[in-house]
Amino acid sequence: MNPILKWCYQLAVPHILYPRIQAWLPWVALVTFSLLALGLYLGLAVAPADYQQGEAFRIIYVHVPAAWLSMAVYVAMALMALSVLVWRIQVAELALVASAPIGAAFTLIALITGAIWGKPMWGAWWVWDARLTSELILLFIYIGIFVLYDAIEDKRQAGKAVSLMTLVGLVNIPIIHYSVTWWNTLHQPPSLSKFDTPSIHIDMLIPLLIMLLAFKLLYLLMLMLRMRLSLIERQPQAAWVKALIKPATTGDKP
Amino acid sequence: MSPLRRKRLAKIGLLLAGVALAVGLMIMAFQQNMMFFFSTTEVVAGKAPLERDFRVGGMVVEQSVERDPNSLLVQFTLTDYQTLLQVEYSGILPDLFREGQGIVAKGRLNEQGVFVATEVLAKHDENYMPPEVAQSLKPQESAN
């Protein structure tokens, strides 16, 4: 078998995935926090103020990465849901459930930072335009996913149910993305997805791109932390978990 | 791919297509309500409701803003670069409100065809740049 493909297949095996998470965690953490620090420094201290909004525009360095991530996490969850329903991969089910609260948190951050910016710039904390409303619906879908998983006792059944719900909710993602082009909204159209005509000055763009990458890695880091726990929680009696705990307990007693 | 998995995949594909179709039809049915505001052309053409409040969006025409020195009353003209609409508002305007700026106003038309606003929101565009760059762009625009 192709070694890269084999390596990927092995991610679905709990007792191989766990030591890999352990080995990678410090490196992912290091890169994530370095990029976050660099992006925040460049964005908050180095980038020039905006010609209209002044210093207030700097909330873009949290708002846009959080909003992008709220959609990216959902697309990742939809792929996990597909692997659960078609290939019955248990690890994907754990990753799906572990991702939902993270996605919800970033959606909430995007909504709150948007409101804080909206009050001085638009003159309103909240308006019911298509972009804001569809993003709010995304938050409810995220909450629905992890509440549904908690509500069903049999976790294999719960995994299938939330996978199905995740795939149904996927229809909201293109609506969020295109809402600003399909309809008249108070929310501005995208600044980034048209590179030919720069809508954002290069000195402001570079910190934003760093923050976008840093937020993606932050999701990966949080997912790894949560997965480490749920892998053990799902099969506390598995041989590899017992082997993992044994040396630690014998080590405590000299 | 095994036949069983292919069958599951086909079922999920069918489900997604069904949901997308249902939501697509719903959105088309609600098309009018999905719009946050009307353009000035639509308002002048009489497409906006007369009996209830609605929102109108457009650019504030340069040198059209007139402030009453004794009150908070402001009058200005709104345009979508095709038609003009006279707007009247009494209250505090948002920071970004200025001539040449996109805004969204909520209110209704009076008998004279003037839009009496009860709320004015500034609509920010997608352009971000430092003040020096904005300055250097200005002469170019007027030259064009």
When CB atoms are compared, the residue of B36, B95, B97 closest to A183 is B36
A1 in a structural domain:
no
Higher pLDDT: B125 or A163? It is: A163
Tokens encoding A25? 């965690």
Q: What is the percent of chain A where pLDDT is above 90? A: 59
Domain boundaries, chain B: 3-32, 37-122
Domain membership flag for residue A23: yes
Measured between alpha carbons, how far is residue B92 from residues A187, A248, A251 in Å? 21, 66, 70
Residue B55 forms beta bridges with which residues? Answer: B106
- Distance, in Å, from the CA atom of A238 to the CA atom of A14, rounded to the nearest integer, reads 10
pLDDT of residue A221: 97
Using the beta-carbon criterion (under 8 Å), do A48 and B125 form an inter-chain contact?
Answer: no
Interchain contact, A199 vs B35, CB within 8 Å: no
State the Cα–Cα distance between residues A227 and A16, nearest whole angstrom. 13
Helices (H) and strands (E) in chain B, counts: 4, 7
Q: What percent of chain B has pLDDT over 90?
A: 17
Regions of chain A with pLDDT less than 50: 253-254
Chain-chain contact of B128 with A200 (C-beta, under 8 angstroms): yes
Q: Which domain, by its residues, includes A36?
A: 15-189+198-252
**Residue in A with minimal Cα distance to B126:** A191
CATH number of residue A55's parent domain: 1.20.120
Domain count, chain A: 1
Q: Which residue of B has its CA nearest to A194?
A: B126
Band (B142; pLDDT cuts 50, 70, 90): very low
Looking at residue B144, what is its pLDDT?
A: 40
pLDDT of residue A198: 61
Closest CA to B97 of A216, A120, A135, A88: A120
User: Which CATH superfamily, name and number, covers B37-122?
Assistant: Nucleic acid-binding proteins (2.40.50.140)
**Per the domain annotation, does A4 fall within a domain?**
no
| Cβ–Cβ under 8 Å, residues A145 and A162 | yes
Q: How far apart are the first and last CA of chain B?
A: 61
Q: pLDDT tens digits for A71-87? A: 999 999 999 999 999 98
Complex confidence, ipTM: 0.77
